[in-house]
Structure 1
């Protein structure tokens, strides 16, 4: 006599629920990627300076890549990222000027899946003040606007040119054209004297005859 095992709906539902729980708990570790827990500078933080960027993840990561950009999109030189357990550390060799910055990072999660993100922050401070006239020792003239300086320099240059012309006229004493005329008169006078000296003996011989 054969006996047939009957499966009640409750047993079927119970077995299906147990399989679903088993698949859920065994698959969840594989589907859960690592994530960024904290950072220094923190997101949207305002800091005085940054010497090092620190990124901490929920587990150890591999192949870190970190880039820093300023507000204009220009890349700021950084040191080579290094791993320290779940942390990624990157040196900032140069002081950062006041302004907004963005850290862009990319790592490979412990499950082999790449993850990435961005961290905006800003450096506090203002532009360096202009050097005062007292520190330079130049006095009030250092603060004179360029147009005012040019206006003040124009009369000075004109006065210098006039003084130079006056000194030249004083040193000359007599205009050049007068000296030229006198030279011509001297030459003409010499020619007349030479001709007169030559004609004198001829006339004396004629008178003697």
Structure 2
């Protein structure tokens, strides 16, 4: 009975170990926390907003919340604060009737950033001037989270690394399986 050479066994074991490590590192990507609810809710029409409340399915860190009107102007907000899985932000000035978007970004409990947007409306005529009297900063000066509800899946580098490992492993198996019995014994003697 012939046993495989140690070289072939080692190459196969190394390929399996690398694939296991890449798969293990990719698993947390599926564990990102998510936004459970918000006040105001997505696409809600409300009479007024004194506080923005974002609730996640787990505790998050480093909250960042911005509010923009339909023209893209930033509306001043108080500093966000954490309360377990909730992020709370006071809206110090009354909002004029019209469309608004809350942009949020937090660091998930698994250490990855997540972000999204929540559009809503304040009831009334959009032509009513703001009673805040505070000039809003231009939207370009305030960083805004990217597209709504983006939760990345497995990063592309993980898939690329896994593909390279599969190709290398297949090449090693192909090369070692094509050797003649005399070559294998000669290699084993060295």
Name the TM-score, length of structure 2 as normaliser.
0.52
Offset, 1:37: 0.4
Alignment of 1:173-192 (within 5 A): none
Q: Which runs of 5+ in 1 are unaligned?
A: 1-22, 130-209
Question: Whole-Å Cα distance in 2 between the matches of residues 128 and 87 of structure 1?
Answer: 33
Runs of 4+ in 1 over 4 A off after TM superposition: 23-30
Q: 1:116 to 1:128 in 2, by over 3 A?
A: closer
Write out per-residue CA displacement over residues 182-206 of structure 1, whole angstroms, 9 at most, x where no aligned residue.
xxxxxxxxxxxxxxxxxxxxxxxxx
TM-superposed CA distance for 1:127, in Å, is 6.6
Check 1:112–1:128 CA distance in 2 against 1; reply closer, same or farther (3 A cut): closer
Aligned ranges for residues 23-34 of structure 1 at < 5 Å? 28=27, 31-34=30-33
Deviation string, structure 1 residues 73-131 (Cα, Å, up to 9, x no partner): 000000000000000000000000000000000000000000000000000012799xx
Question: What's the offset of the Cα at 1:28?
Answer: 4.5
Which is greater in Rg? Answer: 1
RMSD, aligned CA? 2.8
Residue in 2 that maps onto 1:38 = 37
**Matches of 1:109 and 1:127, distance apart in 2:** 36
Q: Is the 8 A contact 2:33 2:109 kept in 1?
A: yes
Q: Could you list the runs of 5+ residues in structure 2 that have no partner in the other structure?
A: 1-21, 129-190
Residues 1:27 and 1:75: Cα distance change in structure 2 (over 3 Å): closer
Q: Does 1:73 align with 2:72?
A: yes
Q: How many pairs align? A: 111
Q: Is the 8 A contact 2:98 2:126 kept in 1?
A: no
State the distance in 2 between where 1:127 and 1:58 align. Answer: 34
1:99 corresponding residue in structure 2: 98
**More helix, by proportion:** 1
SS at match of 1:34: coil
Alignment match, 1:193: none
Q: Distance in 2 between matches of 1:127 and 1:112?
A: 40
Could you tell me the TM-score, scaled by structure 1's length? 0.48
